[in-house]
Structure formats: structure tokens, C-alpha cells
Structure 1
């Protein structure tokens, strides 16, 4: 994985777009016709676009301008974008954005991989986008530059947003490939809430345990693995993780070896993290993986309404 430090070229003081950002004109240019988010009967030969797939999901009404202030290579095939957000922009951990690009007809749909806490602290939001020929993803990898102007609208029913008065739940997060994005947002949000509890002397949120199981082809494709491990080391009594690789042909780095299994996620590895009364599972990955693991969790006694998943592709 290639990593580099990212510094925003737009300062927090410049977060008001009224003078430097033609926001109204940009949004008129980017917004699709109203009919474009209605669901239509689709040919089985054509994959549905993001707006068609998510037509029945909740989404905010407001579309906000945003500006690219950082770009980094998260892996050979994934770029992470850092966006300066409008002051009124807000989201819940796990949600996605409709991503509008000037000159690109198709609207992208990308899960946020950062936490709401990062937005509050720095005024930025992050997206990790895998290379694809689909126009929005292709633009991110081939044409996006520092200072590029886009627009975003928040949506999604897949999120973790506890209140301080809520009872504690144990989270089981299961990710496949780039399905880690919303789950990393949830994990980071949980770590932020644990920081709040620490600062308040334990008077804050009721946070149970959080266990992440994350599968990819190789360790190079395990996104965010180092910050995930740092979070688990910071809160070892609350956060734990295990990685799975299915096509690794090279040696695994020594510091990762204790956390990596060379196999798919199996039932026996989930059993100890399933309590039908306390566990809430968030699952995001390819459809076959979601279907198989959902059935495994049901077999282990976890009620269907405690298994939440994101399945777009």
C-alpha cells in the first residue's frame, strides 16, 4: 500500500463557498432530472446505476458543493479522496453520498470511509474509490485533481448513530473488499465515542464490544489495516479485529501475521461473537458473501432484524 501525508489546500476558514464557489450554478449543472431516481423495469443485461439501485433508500434533500483537498493511493486500485465539506453538511457513520461531477452524466455512489467526528474536527469527509470503468469512478482515478469541484448528497439506511441514552450493543462488523468503507466509518465513529467517554470520565455513550472481520484477496488490498490496528490497540478491551486473505501467494508482513487468516470467514470464527440478545451485525461486501454470511448468522441464532447489510453491486 502506498501512503502519503495529505494536507488540505483549502483551509477551514475557507469553508464558506459563497465567495469562491459558484454553488448555485454548480448545483444546477450537476443535479439530474427528477425522473432519474425513479425505479424502472431494467433489462437483465444492464446493471442498474447508483440512483436506480438506491431509489427507495432515504436521502437528504440538500445537495452541497465540495472541493477535493487531498488525494492518496490507498492501494494499487483504490484512491482515497479528502473533500472540504460545506459547513451545513452532515452524515451518520455508514452512509453514502450521491457524487455529482461536472461534465459527467452518471452520478456516483460512494460510501464515506471517515467518521462524523473527523467532519466536526477538520471540516472534511473522505471517500475511498476503487478503479472501474463506470464514469464517476473512472473520473476519480484519471481526471480528479486537487481543487476539483463536485457536489454531494447524503443517503442510506445503513448506519450506526447511537444516543447517550441508548443501551449498549455489541457490534459485529463483517466486510469484503471495498465493503470495508462504511464499516471503517462505523469503527472510527465508535473509537471517537470511546474517546468522548474517556474524556468525560466514563459519562457518555454506552459502548459494547466491537469486532471486525475483514476479507480481501491479499493483504495489499486490506484497506485501512494500519489505522484499524491502531484503534484496536488504543481500546483493546472494546475493539478487536481479524483479517482474512483468500489469494495471498507471498509472505505476510510480520506485524500483520497475528491478525491474518489465510482463508475465508468461517462459521466457527463468528460463533463466539454472536449473542442473539446483544449483537448487532453490519455486513457489507459482494452479494454472494452477504447472502452466505447472513444465512450463517441466522443459523447461529441471530435474528434477521439484527443483521444489517449494504449490497449495491
Structure 2
């Protein structure tokens, strides 16, 4: 049986216990401490921290996420780190409110409740939660879970589009990729009633309720899921913050959930939805055209006092981050879940 040691996180002054055979990040998840993270596989650097004291060893990781010179200086990736003594770690990227409002990561068995084709390459998957799991699995709107690929030990990460497990189900908007390990099953490999194992919640793409800044959502494709979750949360709670959602699609046929977004706009008087078409558009299209980042730049003069939420394909996120930096938006007011390109393309 593996020994257990204490991990103290500074500057927040929190402590957890970690077994030698689990990573520090997994130990934190198990105890409901939601540290900043991304891919959970040593590929993205979101969980990079600094080792202050203790015996810590890391498994394999990408030097893109942690260059050798940073490791030599004492930086570590928590998703690859195992400890063999009481350890003290300084968090580099953290949100104290999120850390303290974390929920324990659990694994539950679900079953396919429905599967609907929204566009030629995007599906709506709804999983039914057994009654006992509705209180076991809890999540904050905007978070995601890992769904195990049937018959394997592999998993794929997807954000919930609904805002509470108490609804009795989990809802996902998933882009189908040709040959995708999981997403290809949405065409001919899954049927109503099939079991699926999910583990979560993960992610820090959550509404910062203490902020009263204007909200700017930017997304595209299946990246609508967590933003829809946040908007549903706002409607449910009667949130009156001003908000705008710039959503990018190639054609009018690629636009999804338009009826619900119109309904949300009725429930949220300060909310505005701005669809943007970058490809072929009908002659009677009166909306915005061009890449969603181009539309954002045209329409927004000053985002420095806004909270900005991004979710979409990696190239869109990279372009938006560059644009937002040039527009003077502070990093601490930009929120997104950073998935690796490999993970995104392998859905």
C-alpha cells in the first residue's frame, strides 16, 4: 500500500493528502480542491507550479509544456507529479474562489438517453443519470467530464451544456470527427440505453459570480456547450449582467440552438447573441460575416473592463487570445479550458 504525504499549497495556505501512486492533481480532485488545469496529461502547462520543498518526481511530459530550463529552476506539472514526502508547492496560476468551491471528482455509470443530429457534423448527446448519481455527481455550470470510450481505458473530455446534475441528465454538444475514437460512435456505434462511464467534474470555465463586469462570450462549433451552460445558469438565477455572445460558424446550416438562444435573450434582457458566418451565406443574410475574431474586433472598442469567456477550436482560441491581449484585456479576466490539439482532434 502506497504511503500518504501532505501537500501544502501556497499562497492560499491549503493542505491536502496525496498517495504516492496518484498525482498531486488527482489527489486535489479527489478531495474537492479544483486547481487550475487543462489537458491533465502533461501537454499544456496550465497546472505548472513551483516546488518549494519536498521530494517530488514527475512522469513523462512534453517539454513544450515544461522546458528543461524551467524544470531545472524548480517548476513542475502537477498532473505528472508524485510526492514521496511532505511537500510544499507554490501555485503559479490559481483562482482562490474556484479552489475553495471545488467539488470532488467521482465516477458514475450513465446510459444514453437520446442522440440528436444538430448539423452535418455536430450531435447533441444526452446521458441519463441514475437517481443515486444525481447527488453523487455535482458540477458547476461550465465544467466538463471525461467519458470513457466503450471497451477501452481511453477517455474523451466534453463540457456539459446543461447546468445541473439535479436535472437528471448530462447534455453534450459534440463535433463528430471522421475516425474519431469517441465521436464516430455518435453516427453508428451508440444507441439509446447503452451504458457510458463518466468521471468528473473538471475545469475552471465557471461564472465568477463576485464580478459585475460585462460578459463577452466568444465561441464556435461545439464550443457552444459550456457557454450555453453558463447562460442557462444566468437565466435560472435571474442574473442581470450585460452579456454578448459572438458565435462563429461557416454557413447558416452550421448555426445551432437558435431557438433556445432566442428564448434566453427573452429571459435575459441584457443579453445579445451575434452569429457570424465565415463561409458561404444566403443572399438574405443580414447578420455579421467573417471570422468571429474579426467581428469581435469590428464591434468592440474597449474590452478592458469585461470578463471574456472563450470556447471553440484551438486556432480560434489562439487567435482570440492574441487579439484580446492587443485590446488590453487583463489575463485574469479571460477564461477558457485549454485542451491540446491532439485531444480535440481525437474526439
Shared fold per TM-score greater than 0.5: yes
1:42, distance to aligned residue in structure 2 (A): 5.4
1:182, distance to aligned residue in structure 2 (A): 1.3
Task: Report what 2:322 is aligned to.
Answer: 295
| TM-score under structure 1 length normalisation | 0.70
Task: Report what 2:255 is aligned to.
Answer: 222
Task: Report what 1:146 is aligned to.
Answer: 192
Please say if residues 108 and 137 of structure 1, whose CA atoms lie closer than 8 Å, have aligned partners that are also in contact. Answer: no
Task: Report what 1:89 is aligned to.
Answer: 137
Please say if residues 285 and 311 of structure 1, whose CA atoms lie closer than 8 Å, have aligned partners that are also in contact. Answer: no
| TM-score under structure 2 length normalisation | 0.64
Please say if residues 113 and 127 of structure 1, whose CA atoms lie closer than 8 Å, have aligned partners that are also in contact. Answer: yes
1:71, distance to aligned residue in structure 2 (A): 1.4
Please say if residues 106 and 201 of structure 2, whose CA atoms lie closer than 8 Å, have aligned partners that are also in contact. Answer: no
2:300 aligned with 1:270: yes
Gaps of 5+ in 2: 1-20, 27-39, 43-59, 65-76, 81-93, 95-101, 342-347
Task: Report what 2:308 is aligned to.
Answer: 281
Separation in 1, partners of 2:175, 2:211:
36
Please say if residues 286 and 311 of structure 1, whose CA atoms lie closer than 8 Å, have aligned partners that are also in contact. Answer: no
Separation in 2, partners of 1:114, 1:159:
14
- RMSD across aligned C-alpha pairs, in angstroms? 2.9
Match of residue 282, structure 2, among 228, 250, 262: 250
Task: Report what 1:75 is aligned to.
Answer: 119
| 2:299 alignment partner, SS class | helix
Residues 153 and 113 of structure 1: is their aligned pair in 2 closer, same or farther, counting only changes over 3 Å? same
Bigger radius of gyration: 2
Please say if residues 175 and 221 of structure 2, whose CA atoms lie closer than 8 Å, have aligned partners that are also in contact. Answer: no
Separation in 2, partners of 1:287, 1:79:
19
| Aligned length, in residue pairs | 248
Residues 295 and 38 of structure 1: is their aligned pair in 2 closer, same or farther, counting only changes over 3 Å? closer
1:155, distance to aligned residue in structure 2 (A): 3.6
1:307, distance to aligned residue in structure 2 (A): 1.0
Separation in 2, partners of 1:55, 1:142:
34
1:62, distance to aligned residue in structure 2 (A): 1.0
| 1:137 alignment partner, SS class | coil
Please say if residues 105 and 201 of structure 2, whose CA atoms lie closer than 8 Å, have aligned partners that are also in contact. Answer: no
Please say if residues 277 and 289 of structure 2, whose CA atoms lie closer than 8 Å, have aligned partners that are also in contact. Answer: yes
Q: Which has the higher strand share?
A: 2
